[in-house]
Structure 1
Amino acid sequence: MAKPGNFTSLPVIDISPLFGDDPDARARVVADLGRTAREIGFLYVTGHGMAPGLFDDLLATAKDFFARPLDEKMQVYIGKSSNHRGYVPTGEEVIYGGVPDQKEAYDLSIDLPADDPDYLAGNPMLGPNQWPALPGFREKVGAYYDGVMSVGRVLLRGFAEALGQDPSLFDSYVTKPPSQLRLVHYPYNEKAPGNALGISPHTDMEVFTLLRVTAPGLEVMNGAGEWIDVPPLDNAFVVNLGDMMEAWTNGEFIATSHRVRKVREERYSFPLFFSVDYHTEVAPLPMFVTGDKPARKPVVAGEHLFQVTAQGFVYLQKRIAEGRLVLPDNASNLHQFGQHARHEAEALAPAR
């Protein structure tokens, strides 16, 4: 795995040339994306072309929803869903260390009809959303989802070029992806335990993430194991690479570990986890496999996503305990990618 540098801030890359027809400008952006993906795995993206009003509407809608009484929000509780959609109350998600994350969320993805064959077959990440009965919620949140997914498809082609490949390299894997949008509310709570993070250290399970936030709190781990602050930048996405991009590149591109510290003010966060189709087998591309760097074991994208998700949500843990849900013995662990995996591998390696 490439080792991330000891960076202290993130680069800002204007991706507007990816939407244009200037080959020289596009080449410069592609080179910047490749260098950042190899050395950091985190960046700010500007020039994305999304209308600011889409984010403004999303934020206003999220504030309205999270301000509602708990019993109203629980009408769309994620535990009522068979495909992981809906409201996530505070304490429902426990990613690492056994301390519940100090946040609430609403999760949605590609909104498929109830007669979708994957949903009818019991796919745990595909199907219809649970929509709150709030006027305009579905329309405004759905419009933002469509907009950010369009940006993600363009960015995916830029990363393909950054690997020296045709921009269409990954296109065929993005036909019905379970790309999840989360509306996340971090309430300020001065009485929260000192070790209670907004969200615990992790890598994202998908290809990459496009994030908009309203306040500081996000931190990313550099190569020295230090936590670096990632403050919001006006009208910019924070983009970080996920597990599937690291798997495809055999560690050439980095899935960088990150967390949200105990927040110092109320904070809203909107990550779009850009995924590939559920049944996609993600194996290292041949150009990244050498005698010194053997191929990692292939990963089925959707299975990895669901197996890690199931280990972090209380309602899914209950289903496992009751025998209603069974994970394979070799289920994906929470830290097989990113710096956690690298540090563990270094600790186990024989001394030289």
Structure 2
Amino acid sequence: MELSLVDPNSPRSAQVETMRDACAANGFFRVPLSSIPADIAAEAWGLAKAFFSLPTAHKEAVGFPEPGYPYGYSEYGLEALARSLGDHDAVGDMKESFSVGPDCGVHASTVPATGASAWIRSVSLWPTQIPELRDAWERYYQALAVVAAELMSVMAEALELPTDYFEPFIDRPITSMRALHYPAVPNQAPSALRAGAHTDYGTLTILRTDDVAGLQIHTDDGWWDVPPDPDTFVVNLGDTIAQWTNDRWRSTLHRVVPGAEPRQSMAFFHMANWDATIECLPTCRTHGEAPRHQPAQAGPWLMRKFQSTVDSGDR
């Protein structure tokens, strides 16, 4: 399903209905790439491609300075997303990535930086060889933050809540952003994956891809391909939404399978505030129905999930 946030002829009621249907089905839908300015989208994408074209030594110069550091360059095979769901023997994913954190956003200075939450305030690392990358990515990050906030307001209405219900939970978001490069991997075993099966941890993910296939989602009928469309963003719900909605809306399992062509994507992982308590919404359980999830703070949940995926060298 495609949800238009920029079409003035798309009434709010239609957006809410589309959102409700998509989220109740499999938690995946699309929004037009034109939801953000074209120049911002093009520059961020092009500079991501330039980053992955750098010599390995230059990319490694902005690699994780210590195990579990949240931002920077992750080399090929370092991360195994399937470990986040308990598959501790999962091999590393066939990808490399470059990630930045909430210091790219306009609310960076309001994110707590004491105790465990100092982890999320770790400094984003930037390659000196592409000095313009930081400004371009900050503009892209901030543009998608606006889209994410609007999507959350539509979700609130779809859940029969006030439009601004989620605002106190996302006014200091700990959102991160990541570019991913999947090198060509012809003749790989069927079990080899570019990204192992996982769910996303936050509220929602806004994903841009090129025209190379590979993303799959898991439904009751098995694995299904998500056709690539460079003119749209793919949006999927994360674990936080599933917890809020008592699993009425799902955080759908997904993966990236190998292919003979290289593939690039950029993912904006929208999160709630570090100290936001995530618990069952009042409209998401009937009288006498027990919540399926214990209340949890968004930040510590994210930290545990992320750090479970990175090889510390002890395996």
Counterpart amino acid of 1:111?
A: D
Superposition pairs of residues 1-352 of structure 1, within 5 angstroms: 11-16=1-6, 25-46=11-32, 49-80=35-66, 83-96=69-82, 97=87, 98-111=90-103, 118-119=112-113, 121-122=115-116, 123-133=118-128, 134-190=130-186, 192-214=188-210, 215-224=212-221, 226-290=222-286, 293-295=289-291, 296-315=293-312
TM-score relative to the length of structure 1: 0.80
Preserved CA contact (<8 Å) 1:81 1:130: no
Q: Could you tell me how far 1:191 is from its partner in structure 2?
A: 5.4
Q: CA 1:234–1:183 in structure 2 vs 1: closer, same or farther (change >3 Å)?
A: closer
Q: Which amino acid aligns with 2:203?
A: V
Aligned-partner SS, 1:100:
coil
Aligned partner of residue 80 in structure 2, secondary structure: coil
Q: In 2, are the aligned partners of 1:14 and 1:48 still within 8 Å (CA)?
A: no
Deviations 1:170-191 (A, max 9, x none): 0111122111111100010225
Amino acid at match of 2:159: L
User: Residues 84 and 234 from structure 1, CA distance in 2 versus in 1: closer, same or farther, beyond 3 angstroms?
Assistant: closer
Partner of 1:4: none
- Cα distance in 2, alignment partners of residues 64 and 246 from structure 1: 36
Aligned partner of 1:124: which letter? W
* Alignment partners' CA distance in 2, 1:65 and 1:46: 25
Deviation at 1:124, TM superposition (A): 1.8
User: C-alpha distance in 1, partners of 2:235/2:304?
Assistant: 23
Q: What secondary structure, in the 3-state scheme, does the structure 2 residue paired with 1:288 have?
A: coil
Q: Is the contact between residue 68 and residue 310 of structure 2 (CA under 8 Å) also seen in structure 1?
A: no
| Shift of residue 312, structure 1, vs aligned partner | 0.5
Q: Report how far residue 311 of structure 1 moved.
A: 0.9
Note closer, same or farther for the CA distance 1:117–1:220 as it changes in structure 2 (3 Å cut).
closer
Contact preservation (8 Å) 1:183, 1:270: yes
Deviation at 1:192, TM superposition (A): 4.3
Query: Deviation per CA, 1:28-74, whole angstroms, max 9, x where unpaired?
Result: 11011011101121111127531122222122111111111212111
Q: Which runs of 5+ in 1 are unaligned?
A: 1-10, 322-352
Is the 2:184–2:262 contact (alpha carbons within 8 Å) kept by the matching residues of 1?
A: yes
**What SS is found at the alignment partner of 1:238?**
strand
Distance 1:232 1:292, change over 3 A: farther
Q: Which amino acid aligns with 2:249?
A: F
Amino acid at match of 1:109: G
- CA–CA separation in structure 1 for the residues paired with 2:167 and 2:108: 26
Instruction: Give the RMSD, CA atoms, in angstroms.
Output: 2.4
In 2: Cα distance, 1:117 partner to 1:52 partner: 29
Query: How has the CA–CA distance of structure 1 residues 219 and 115 changed in structure 2, closer, same or farther, with 3 Å as cutoff?
Result: closer
Whether contact under 8 Å (1:279, 1:302) holds in the other structure is yes
Aligned in 2, Cα 1:39/1:114: closer, same or farther, shift over 3 Å?
closer
Distance, in Å, in 1 between the alignment partners of 2:103 and 2:278 is 24
Q: Percent identity?
A: 26
- Greater RCO (Cα-Cα under 8 Å, separation 6 or more): 2
- The count of residues paired between Structure 1 and Structure 2 equals 303
Q: Please identify the structure whose Cα radius of gyration is greater.
A: 1
